[in-house]
């Protein structure tokens, strides 16, 4: 007996346990009827898209992990799978847990196609769908794997996701006098992060362009939540304490980790949340030139909400009232944004103003003085500065706010950064730098302080922690 093209498909499925069609009813295809195609979004163990072409009474099928490409410069992997029945082209629903392909299936696009070439190693077609149109070719690379390539140019209204968009920065300033033309957000005590989501995969970059995806494995599922939608998001990664307050100290334990296994262990102990406040690219279109109010509406339409990501509220109320609520809730302040402001990548703008309840400043560490008492033989106080047009200007010493873990980590880092001469410009106060060990000025930290002295030195600075998400070139006077 001649084997059926659907034998493999049917052997993997039990009609009593799954709602998928079994292909029991066969109809002879009409030579005049147009051939159909379907692309199904399949949230199985790994998110992927199933690309299916009608041929000889079945749907010849490939699993495409990153979806059908719209960019002719990027080919996508396509893994050949068993032929499916024609009825599967209309299937959408949930495959029960424990069954082959368990998960949710939805129809992402469908339509008709024309064949230009079909061989054992190459399939060339012209698609006519709602979301995908144009010429495509699938070519075989080994026994099971193929690649799918778009032969036509990208659609006119579609732009590929850029590899890098630097985050727009705030200026420290005073509260707007009125709510008119402004919206306010709470300022979260975390680290800035831009998330690139494409084909269900997530890539996260820090403010200084480092890829920190491995450090936050719990955020990878954001790709599954967004499915096929290509998007760039801007937000803050935050760790919360037992009282649900942002804790920069807890987040410090996550920021430096690059080992995947260690990051997974820490994610269970100190989970983070990605608080998203802007969208920079969506569905093949840049949103940078849209006013903030429109970008915010687009962001809210994504309905991002889970245990590990959210879109915090914005407030059109009197800015002072919003700041009062933030400070009474234990938050560090607010960010006020002009509702008509464009997104300016990598630039500081008066359109975004941050106002804190206490003063903080990023600093560059240029050396340290030896410790005394319990810190004898180790790091006592840090000698810090702020870059200016002449080099690294001296801003004072920081001797408080360190935990034992901070001192240990700093000592380990300094051991690799020592240098013989001071990295600071100008003459330093001898009494304050007596016995100093100098280091290469590449480490950035953050301090809390009460005010500036008349000599442009930090008054009563207290250490808050290292900022590996920032480089020395990023440091400017905040207040």
The catalytic residue positions are: 187
SS3 479: coil
274 and 237 in contact (C-beta within 8 Å)?
Answer: yes
Cβ contacts of residue 84 below 8 Å, gap of 6+?
A: 6, 9, 23, 52, 58, 59, 61
228 and 200 in contact (C-beta within 8 Å)?
Answer: yes
Long-range contacts of 97-102 (CB under 8 A, 24+ apart): 99/13, 99/14, 99/17, 99/18, 100/12, 100/13, 100/18, 101/42, 101/44, 102/44, 102/45
Q: Which helix (H) or strand (E) holds 94?
A: strand 93-95
Residue matched to tokens 């809730």? 329
Q: Pairing between strand 333-338 and 285-286?
A: unpaired
> In DSSP terms, which residues pair with 310 in a beta bridge?
275, 305
Cβ contacts of residue 225 below 8 Å, gap of 6+?
A: 304, 306, 309
Q: Give the Cα separation of 1 and 7 in Å (integer).
A: 12
Q: Which helix (H) or strand (E) holds 103?
A: strand 103-118
List the beta strands (DSSP E) in 158-314. 169-172, 182-187, 191-198, 201-206, 231-239, 272-282, 285-286, 309-310
DSSP label at residue 228: T
Among candidates 260, 227, 263, which has minimal Cα distance to 46?
227
């Amino acid at each position: 007996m001649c084997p059926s093209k659907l034998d493999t498909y049917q052997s993997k499925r039990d009609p009593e346990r799954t709602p998928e069609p079994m292909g029991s009813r066969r109809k002879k295809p009409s030579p005049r009827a147009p051939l159909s195609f379907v692309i199904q979004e399949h949230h199985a163990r790994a998110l992927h898209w199933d690309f299916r072409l009608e041929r000889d009474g079945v749907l010849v099928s490939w699993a495409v992990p990153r979806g059908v490409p719209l960019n002719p410069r990027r080919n996508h992997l396509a893994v050949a799978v068993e032929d499916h029945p024609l009825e599967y082209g209309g299937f959408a629903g949930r495959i029960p847990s424990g069954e082959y392909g368990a998960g949710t299936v939805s129809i992402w696009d469908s339509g008709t196609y024309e064949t230009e070439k079909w061989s054992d190693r190459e399939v060339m077609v012209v698609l006519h769908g709602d979301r995908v149109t144009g010429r495509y070719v699938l070519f075989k690379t080994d026994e099971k794997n193929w690649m799918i390539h778009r032969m036509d140019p990208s659609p006119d209204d579609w732009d590929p996701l850029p590899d890098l968009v630097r985050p727009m920065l705030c200026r420290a300033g005073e509260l707007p006098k009125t709510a008119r033309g402004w919206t306010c957000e709470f300022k979260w005590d975390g680290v800035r992060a831009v998330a690139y989501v494409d084909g269900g995969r997530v890539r996260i970059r820090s403010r200084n362009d480092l890829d920190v995806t491995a450090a936050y494995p719990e955020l990878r599922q954001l790709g599954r939540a967004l499915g096929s939608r290509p998007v760039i998001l801007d937000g803050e990664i935050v760790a919360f304490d037992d009282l649900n307050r942002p804790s920069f100290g807890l987040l410090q334990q996550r920021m430096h980790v690059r080992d995947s296994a260690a990051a997974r262990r820490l994610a269970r102990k100190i989970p983070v949340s990605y608080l998203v406040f802007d969208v920079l690219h969506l569905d093949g279109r840049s949103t940078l030139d849209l006013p903030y109010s429109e970008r915010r509406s687009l962001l809210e339409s994504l309905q991002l909400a889970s245990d590990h990501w959210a879109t915090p509220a914005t407030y059109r109320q009197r800015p002072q009232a919003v700041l009062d609520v933030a400070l009474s809730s234990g938050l560090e302040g607010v960010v006020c944004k002009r509702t008509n402001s464009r997104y300016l990548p990598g630039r500081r703008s008066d359109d975004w103003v941050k106002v804190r309840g206490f003063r903080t400043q990023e600093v560059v560490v240029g050396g340290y003085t030896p410790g005394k008492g319990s810190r004898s033989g180790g790091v006592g106080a840090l000698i810090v500065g702020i870059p200016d047009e002449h080099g690294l200007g001296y801003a004072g010493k920081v001797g408080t706010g360190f935990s034992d873990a901070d001192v240990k980590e700093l000592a380990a880092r300094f051991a690799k950064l020592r240098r013989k001469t001071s990295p600071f410009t100008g003459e330093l106060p001898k009494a304050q730098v007596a016995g100093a060990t100098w280091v290469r000025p590449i480490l950035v930290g953050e301090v809390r302080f009460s005010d500036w002295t008349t000599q442009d030195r930090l008054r009563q600075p207290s250490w808050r922690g290292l900022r590996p998400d920032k480089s020395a070139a990023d440091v400017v006077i905040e207040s």
